[in-house]
Structure 1
Amino acid sequence: MRAIFALLTSVVLSLGLSLSASATPVDTYEFKSMEHQKRALDLAHSLRCPQCQNQNLIDSNSPVAQDLRLEVYEMVDAGKGDQEIIEFMTSRYGDFVLYKPRWEGKTLALWLGPLGLLMFGLVIGFFFIRKQRVSQVEVQEISAEEQKELDKLLKRDS
């Protein structure tokens, strides 16, 4: 009986430990108003975690993202504007924290690159298709000698 009790206890403990190990931390910050909470969450969704690969501050569980979330929450509750918070984050971590890069000289390749690649592909495709059409239209005539040789090969000539 003791062995069964010990086995059940170890199973329950290991199950409890495995469930608690996969739990994610929850932000327990209390906002001054629901409007502040909505603004802070929208801002945190629009900012990328500087440590993670393509995760915003809300989705990331890294310590850096947790600290930045808290900082965004506190700045919103302190009455700072969205643009002021974004400026603070980009001055500290660079434009990497923005999911939508600004329209600047150094980001023109990000904004215009896909359009340029699309135009380049369309031009190449146009010339390729045009070349294919021209080569298909050309019909080559064979001479009488070539026709005789062909007939000979096909054993039509007697």
Structure 2
Amino acid sequence: MRSTRRFTVLGAAALALTTVVLGVQPAGAAAKPKTLHYFEKPTGFTYIPAGGKPIHQPPSGPPKPGDRIEISGNLYKGDHKHHGDEVVGTDHTICVFNADLSAYCDAQAAFGGSMLLVHSSGGDGDFTSTITGGTGRFLNAKGTVRTHPVKDNADLTIRLK
């Protein structure tokens, strides 16, 4: 179902963005470009229709303007074929659908006492999101996250500038 895939892809993108924090340099440090790879598994999903009651599964039809989704997940080093067993981070994403049904998403990824902040305009298939900053050791982080959906999960490629 296309709407189910769209929600999964958006969530995966948001989760992928959070993994960037592991390679971000401390504030004030000279950052070297770095590429990181993570596998993301969603742990929670909530669909909130505009003015309606939240449900914990994708809707039966396409989203409507003003509808939102919230997705949480666990991040593992590697990709869908070869990844670690240990959760190295978690993330949370909120997406809102506009009048043209495009989704605008903001995500936070937590690694210890620091967070990475990401923004995307996700869609079906592969897409790229922007790292907009962070807190703690990820203050002023910049870069991109490329999300590649794999079934209900995603492979993430993070490029830190």
How does the TM-score come out when normalised to structure 2? 0.24
Indicate the structure with greater helix content: 1
How does the TM-score come out when normalised to structure 1? 0.25
